Structure 1
């Protein structure tokens, strides 16, 4: 058990790395997902096709393959680097891969929200001279976001749990990698499993509760 306590600090640091990944990926995936949904509902056929292909390909590709592609394809083959320090570089490659993956689900959630906005509002926006971009930004997207707060909360929860496969992208500092090292060294497993499960629940449960409350509070009256 003494060895287990010696690893407690490393496990805590690893979990904080997961939290850092989750926060950054949440921000970037929301931004990219919003851009993708704008492409998917765009009046321009090329943009609609590009958005549709991206979402269908990425959403149906295993996350581990996307992270491996970020590490091996983008970094090793194409030479994309964010830092000369290997751990920092792998961290940002994982952020890139996980954000690109999660953005496809954000896009589909937002598209479902856009479908709840009455068509007459978009037509009225065009009638008063608003462009597609203006009507999307001022009228459609604000209502779409309010309609899908709970689904977006579920996407963020799933993304937070997905940070535990960051090792597939070469990032060897997050909690699941440290956990395996701890198993191999101490032979202790169940207490570590329970502790890490509780740590993730301490994040995901409040996110689910908050998104549910906000969904009811911000619901758009029809």
Structure 2
């Protein structure tokens, strides 16, 4: 089974646009779980432009599915993981000013640093995933860091899908098989939606998890949250 983790950053963006607590991020997360989400993902950034650090603290004791916290492993992120001990920490190499994650780790250049970070996160009992581009050269170095999983950066797949879906998915199949041979678990995320998700799953049936936020929340405006989550679950089943 490939689990669906719902990224609720955009819910927080909507709340922050007017202040107050509407929509209630915690309530939406709990409703998402009730409607079939198998995990909740957040990506707090230093400027707190969507998910706030207090949101992470509020979510932690009430979620019943897997809690996945994404982010750049700076001092505050590491302290948060030590405190909360989520099911999974996903390491993303994004600087504070970017709108969204747009590149994977260079696991060759940052191998030593990532090894130390992964070891520290494991001390908290947290599974670790490293956000990575679909390039074979980064996978063996990723394995040496001790990470449990890698998360495939799927924006290039999503961009190429309408043009030639078989060409778009080919490099992902190659690196997925490589990850499997190395004993790495496999996640995927970025720009996945109701159009391209099923084909990715069919092409890489052993995906452990997909994390989807922007497209899923956009679809919710038309279909409603419960129906949308079930629609995404069906693409994976």
TM-score (norm 1): 0.25
Larger radius of gyration: 1
* Structure number with higher helix proportion: 1
* Structure number with higher strand proportion: 2
TM-score (norm 2): 0.24
